[in-house]
Amino acid sequence: MRRLTGGRVWSSHSGRLRTGPRCERRAPSLSRSFICSRRPGRMAQKPLRLLACGDVEGKFDVLFNRIRAIQKKSGNFDLLLCVGDFFGSTPSTEWEEYRTGVKRGRKGVFTGASGLQIAYLSGTESLAEPAPPYSFTFKDVSSLKAALQATSQFKGVDVLLTSPWPKGVGNFGNASGDVDTKKKGSSLISHLAMDLKPRYHFAALEKTYYERLPYRNHTVLQETAQHVTRFIALANVGNPEKRKYLYAFSILPLNLMDMAELVKQPPDVTENPYRKSGKEALSDKQGLAPQEEPACQFFFDLSKKQGKKRQSTGGDSKGVSPKQPRKPPQPLGPCWFCLASPEVEKHLVVSIGTHCYLALAKGGLCDDHVLILPIGHYQSVVDLSREVVEEVEKYKCAVRQLFKSKGKRCVLFERNYRSHHLQLQVVPVPLSCCTTDDIKEAFIIQAQEQQMELLEIPEHSDIQQIAQPGAPYFYVELDTGEKLFHRIKKSFPLHFGREVLAGEAILNIPNKSDWRQCPRSREEEEALARLFRKHFQPFDFALED
């Protein structure tokens, strides 16, 4: 692409392929996507070199001068893809027809001679019907999906161009800066991206650059591996903050790629941000949101010296309070771990949050072996609501920080088998004992010896995405973020996790593989709880400053 002038313009607003002397200023300030191509008839013998651009806003000279400089340094590109606000506030009578609705062109698919397939959706989301001509609706999204998914061979598209961000794109991913992806963006585009499985998805409008970690388009251990998606949001051209508005990449069309190469998973891949966990999907089917009991009545002073707990906000308040979430499932009988239950040995509790609490393990492998438990009655991590999951993660982070300060790494494991209340075991291992690889190898070898398949799942995987509610499983999480997962089909050794950690290769205390073999007096347990509470206090987010 020596010059963009004299090329072809694919306007996602008009829905037609236009040939003209140059990319002219032809539209009012509407959000749309454009593709400029110089050599449409050339068959791809090697990957295509593409440039993607954010909101141009009519700054064509700034854009093209920048592109000329890039090409002078890096060579020619095959396509320029523009998303977001292309024409800015530049007036034009020709595009008045699109503003008034005489002409429309919200969506479409461009397939090049090389086989490169680009899906586009113009404008911003509208909930009204009929929608303004510069917007898209549920019908537009459904129509675009139907056109592409009509064949059984559909695997996805190479590129998806939209103006707004997809809502929730930051879930499971890296930080998105000032953009709150849970509130900003379009839900319709989220659904579109999930169904079209683009290898690259470009968007704009938020005046910032964000390259999300790649996410997978399949469920680990349940579906055949598929290619990953890379979402990139681009800033506006010539922005004073010098945020990135051009993105260069090479791509071989999907239909020309070897399948094994196509589905390779990069090491930093995450779960799909738009796919709901089994728990959330089940709640949606039942017409209920994931819900959790506030549990404020469970707050009590564990020790007068440890600091104040946050005050209760429920129950007796006479003011107007926000709608309270419903209670979690109730146990069918006595539960040793529901904090409201009289069976709980509260002298072992060392920290209480809003939804979870931390307690020393009864008959622990070591003095600082602890459990992370939900306050309400939940059977496993898979069953937890989002609020509880978030607090579990906070406790995991806090405990890791504590053990790191003590020269230890921690191993977490959960056995969702013949248990009624989630117990996330956290066992510290001195750095001098062994390496993380030693721990990983010990779990894998012992599983093999017992004819069990312990599979490694990617670092950014979410257990809620892998295991279905009610399905028994065992999983281990190492200090590196690596996770090992076993789907229990028939039976499972109840003390497997403890047996591995107590083995000669790690802690070398084989006589402690069964918690019942590790009795302590009430006075000893109380002393250990006080000591742990003291050490944990600097890391305890549940305490007021």
In whole angstroms, what is the distance from residue 134 CA to residue 91 CA?
A: 16
Is 327 a residue whose pLDDT tops 80? no
Q: For residue range 96-108, list pLDDT tens digits in order.
A: 555 555 555 678 9
- Say yes or no: 490 and 397 in one domain: yes
In three-state secondary structure terms, 154 is: coil
Same domain assignment for residues 368 and 232? no
Residue 132 covered by a domain:
yes
Residue 23 inside a domain? The answer is no
Mean per-residue pLDDT for 241-252?
96
Q: What is the C-alpha to C-alpha distance for residues 538 and 545, in angstroms, rounded to an integer?
A: 10
Contact 343, 377 (CB under 8 A): no
Looking at the fold, whether 457 and 353 belong to one and the same domain comes out as yes
**Is 219 found in the same domain as 363?**
no
Whole-number Å distance between alpha carbons of 296 and 376? 11
Domain assignment present for residue 453? The answer is yes
In a domain, 402, yes or no: yes
Model confidence at 420, pLDDT cuts 50, 70, 90, reads confident
CA 154 to chain CA centroid, Å, is 25
pLDDT value at 425 more than 50: yes
Poorest-confidence range of 145-149, 273-277, 459-463? 459-463
Task: Look at residue 151 in the predicted model and tell me its pLDDT.
Answer: 80
- Predicted confidence at residue 286, as pLDDT, reads 44
Can you tell me the distance from the alpha carbon of 346 to that of 375, in angstroms, rounded to the nearest whole number? Answer: 12
Last residue of a domain, one of 198, 228, 263: 263
Q: Inform me whether the pLDDT recorded for 65 exceeds 90.
A: yes
Domain count, the chain: 2
Residue 419 is predicted with a pLDDT of 87
Give the pLDDT band of residue 283 (cuts 50, 70, 90). Answer: very low
Residue 169 pLDDT > 50, yes or no? Answer: yes
How many alpha carbons fall within 13 Å on the CB side of residue 498? 24
- Cβ neighbour number for residue 242 with a 10 Å cutoff: 9
| pLDDT of 228 over the 80 cut | yes
95 pLDDT above the threshold of 70: no
Question: What is the C-alpha end-to-end distance of the chain, expressed in Å?
Answer: 60
Q: In this predicted model, which residue has the larger pLDDT, 29 or 265?
A: 265
526-543 pLDDT, tens digit each? 999 999 999 999 999 988
Q: Are residues 121 and 217 in the same domain?
A: yes
State which of 263, 297, 324 marks the end of a domain.
Answer: 263
Residue 429 lies in a domain: yes
* 49 in Cβ contact with 75 (< 8 Å): yes
Residues 213 and 357 in one domain: no
Q: Comparing 105 with 296, which gets the higher pLDDT?
A: 105
Q: pLDDT over 90 for what percent of the chain?
A: 53
Residue 335 near residue 420, CB atoms below 8 Å: yes
- Regarding whether 66 and 180 lie in a shared domain, the answer is yes
290 in any annotated domain: no
Taking 50 as the threshold, does the pLDDT of residue 501 lie above it? yes
In a domain, 139, yes or no: yes
Q: Return d(Cα 168, Cα 185) in angstroms, integer.
A: 8
Residues 385 and 496 in one domain: yes
* Bridge pairing between strands 48-53 and 79-82: parallel
Asked, for residue 15, whether it belongs to a domain, the answer is no
CATH number of the domain where residue 239 is located: 3.60.21.10
Q: Which of 153-162, 232-241, 460-469 has the lowest mean pLDDT?
A: 460-469
Task: Give 317 or 157, the one with higher predicted confidence.
Answer: 157
Residue 421 near residue 379, CB atoms below 8 Å? yes
User: Can you read off the two tokens belonging to residue 71?
Assistant: 């090409």
At 459, which CATH number? 3.30.428.10
What pLDDT is attached to residue 36? 52
Q: What is the mean pLDDT of the chain?
A: 80
**Euclidean distance between CA atoms 469 and 153, whole angstroms:** 31
Rounded Cα distance between 40 and 338, Å, is 65
In which residue are the tokens 């990953």 written? 228
Does residue 235 sit in the same domain as residue 379? Answer: no
pLDDT one-digit tens code per residue, 381-416:
888 888 999 999 999 999 999 999 999 999 999 999
What is the domain extent for residue 119? 48-263
What pLDDT sits at residue 134? 77
Residue 219 has pLDDT above 60, yes or no: yes
CA distances from 527 to 76, 82, 333, 348, 360 (A): 71, 65, 31, 10, 11
Let me know whether 355 and 230 are in one domain: no
On whether both 255 and 367 belong to a single domain, the answer is no
A 10 A CB-CB count for 41 gives: 8
Same domain for 237 and 93:
yes
Q: Among 263, 293, 321, identify where a domain stops.
A: 263
